[in-house]
């Protein structure tokens, strides 16, 4: 028998999001809402049970077929009904943890406290997480008997005026003894304002059976916040970024202005790196040590080495080595691999290009589908012409080559080591090593020609 099974409720319509995307697939700080929730129960159960209502294929395609046990709640008749649909999936466990899929701020430490509490005292039939925030939102109220024991949960819409004064709130995270949960589910009835099967009613039924119900209050009530609309999504994203940024700073990263620095949860940054305001780091980005990321840069799924400088540039699935400089206003597209001690200057665009150590591409150049060696100098306005209208071809440039300004390299072509291409040349054939290539018209001067043209225009 598995000791714990986890059920994540994700079948709500999320109408207040006003979106065609299921609510739990909206992202906060680089991760979907339901993935944040799943991370909080990681290690407790091998495969959480995800209850979904619509867009099942989209959920599976986004989250992965094997990450969850998917259970379809065809009719959405309340939280109790949702857990009823998971009966088969949890029946062989000793305990069942139930939590909502739209609570990205819940911490793993809080879930572990819940688990440890019920493991340490097996007389409990149910253990709840509760919160006592400064302002009381429209959550269910925790009702206690004269001895102070939990005896009921009353949903906000069903509360009397006296019950609304209760400050301790249910946050919809439970740990049940599975056998007792199954029995309580059989007792649920839709006798409420919404005509739904409330999971909260199981607490009252367990109490009536003489079962023991406990609770643990969150240290930080912010963890209890769910996401129901875009405003709450923005707030949750802000709080998650605060956690990410604080963790990075405590581990040796300098953030000049944390509130204006946007870093996803999967990003890694080495010690003594400095990140300026307005930087966006997304996906599985890995930044080295003692690197500087100046304002306005966006880096996604990329790797940057140590002692490198990135200024006001975009890197998408690219790699940059150590002691290199990129930007300002460079655009490194997928497949770009730049070596150490390189210079990628302003308005340089690269795509699917391998660039060796020490190579300099200073400005206004496009390098696509190319293999560049080491210590190459590429002048201003050079274009690697990689597309013939039907297919793309690669260009190879050897070590120590010099490519003059406004050169066009027409693929497929190879430029040898140590060769020199004069400015304004169009290369269509192989350039041997150590050769000089010139492919431009001889300059012709006609004295007085422009003066005559000016006279004609005036007349």
Nearest Cα residue to 396 out of 406, 408, 411:
411
Burial class (CB in 10 A: 0-12, 13-18, 19+), 99: buried
Respond yes or no: is residue 363 known to be catalytic.
yes
Torsion of CA 253, 258, 260, 263, to 10 degrees: 50
List phi, psi (to 5°) of 233: -65, -45
Tokens 């023991």 belong to 212
Is 267 in contact with 243 (CB distance < 8 Å)? no
Angle between helical axes of 108-120 and 33-40 (0-180°, round to 10) = 40
The catalytic residue among 26, 363, 393, 457 is: 363
Task: Mark 170-196 as b/e (b = at least 16 C-beta within 10 Å).
Answer: bbbbbbbbbebbbbbbeebeeebeeeb
Nearest Cα residue to 384 out of 360, 352, 341, 340:
352
Structural tokens at position 5: 């099974």
Q: How far is CA 80 from CA 87, 155, 174, 198, 327, in A?
A: 11, 13, 12, 5, 56
Contacts of 131 (CB under 8 A, 6+ apart): 139, 168, 169, 171, 217, 218, 221, 223, 224
Nearest Cα residue to 102 out of 213, 196, 225, 201:
225
List phi, psi (to 5°) of 318: -125, 165
Is 320 in contact with 304 (CB distance < 8 Å)? yes
- What positions carry a catalytic annotation? 363
């Amino acid at each position: 028998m598995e000791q714990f099974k986890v059920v994540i409720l994700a079948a709500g319509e999320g109408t207040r999001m006003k979106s065609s995307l299921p609510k739990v697939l909206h992202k906060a700080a680089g991760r979907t809402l339901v993935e944040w929730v799943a991370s909080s129960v990681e290690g407790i159960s091998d495969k959480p049970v995800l209850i979904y209502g619509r867009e099942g294929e989209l959920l599976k395609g986004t989250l992965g077929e094997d990450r969850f046990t998917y259970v379809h709640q065809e009719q959405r008749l309340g939280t109790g009904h949702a857990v009823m649909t998971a009966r088969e999936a949890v029946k062989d466990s000793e305990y069942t943890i139930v939590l909502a899929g739209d609570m990205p701020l819940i911490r793993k430490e809080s879930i572990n406290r819940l688990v440890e509490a019920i493991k340490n005292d097996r007389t409990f039939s149910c253990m709840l997480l509760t919160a006592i925030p400064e302002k009381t939102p429209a959550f269910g109220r925790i009702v206690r008997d004269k001895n102070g024991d939990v005896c009921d949960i009353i949903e906000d819409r069903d509360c009397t005026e006296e019950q609304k004064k209760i400050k301790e709130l249910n946050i919809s995270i439970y740990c049940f003894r599975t056998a007792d949960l199954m029995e309580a589910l059989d007792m649920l009835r839709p006798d409420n304002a919404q005509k739904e099967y409330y999971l909260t009613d199981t607490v009252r039924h367990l109490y009536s059976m003489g079962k023991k119900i406990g609770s643990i209050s969150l240290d930080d009530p912010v963890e209890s916040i769910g996401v129901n609309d875009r405003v709450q999504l923005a707030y949750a994203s802000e709080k998650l970024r605060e956690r990410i940024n604080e963790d990075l700073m405590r581990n040796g990263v300098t953030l000049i202005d944390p509130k204006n620095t946007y870093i996803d949860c999967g990003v890694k940054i080495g010690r003594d790196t400095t990140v300026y305001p307005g930087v966006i780091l997304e996906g599985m980005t890995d930044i080295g040590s003692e690197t500087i990321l100046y304002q306005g840069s966006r880096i996604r799924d990329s790797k940057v080495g140590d002692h490198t400088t990135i200024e006001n540039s975009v890197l998408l699935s690219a790699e940059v080595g150590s002691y290199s400089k990129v930007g300002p206003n460079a655009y490194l597209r997928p497949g770009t691999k730049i070596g150490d001690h390189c210079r990628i200057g302003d308005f340089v665009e690269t795509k699917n290009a391998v660039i060796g150590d020490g190579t300099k591409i200073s400005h206004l150049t496009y390098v696509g589908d190319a293999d560049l060696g080491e210590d190459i100098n590429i002048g201003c306005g050079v274009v690697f012409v990689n597309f013939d209208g039907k297919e793309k071809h690669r260009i190879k440039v050897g070590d120590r080559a010099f490519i003059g300004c406004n050169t066009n390299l027409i693929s497929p072509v190879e430029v040898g080591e140590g060769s020199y291409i004069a400015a304004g040349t169009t290369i269509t054939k192989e350039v041997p090593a150590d050769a000089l290539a010139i492919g431009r018209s001889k300059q012709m001067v006609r004295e007085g020609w422009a003066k005559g043209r000016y006279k004609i225009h005036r007349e």
